[in-house]
Amino acid sequence: MEDIKVGQKIYVETQLHISRGSDDVVGGLATVTKIREDISGGEKCLFVSVKEHPGNGYNWSQHLSKLQDKLKERFGDQIAYPDPDIDRPFIEDGDTVDGKIYHGPPIW
């Protein structure tokens, strides 16, 4: 397995989510806070968590480790940071759906 340590600075990608915008993050340098071994695609690999994007894991072995040079070139010294949007239902009471006003509970 790769040589990665808690406290190490790595680069993470920008992540923008359609259905959970509150979890968006702008990429850049991030500090590893946790490393765990798991299985992805039938292979043992390492997943990392970072201080700048708490509650999310990144597949280090199969994905992020391979992008470090490219991400360094793109982000330089920029620190990764959360960039949340307000999560809202796709359809809410009073919205127009298929030409009609929808009345009912929010649809996520």
pLDDT tens string 84-104: 887 677 788 888 888 999 999
Asked if pLDDT for residue 2 goes beyond 70, the answer is no
Question: Is position 83 within any domain?
Answer: yes
Question: Is position 4 within any domain?
Answer: no
Q: Which ranges of the chain does DSSP label H, i.e. alpha helix?
A: 68-75
C-alpha triplet 70, 26, 73: angle, nearest 5°: 20
Measure the CA dihedral 28/84/34/65, to 10°: -40
pLDDT tens string 13-25: 998 877 777 888 9
Question: Is position 25 within any domain?
Answer: yes
Domain range for 16 is: 9-101
pTM: 0.77
Q: How many domains does the chain have?
A: 1
φ, ψ at 74 (rounded to 5°): -75, -45
Question: Is position 107 within any domain?
Answer: no
Question: Is position 3 within any domain?
Answer: no
**Any idea which residue has 């929808």 for tokens?**
102
Question: Is position 13 within any domain?
Answer: yes
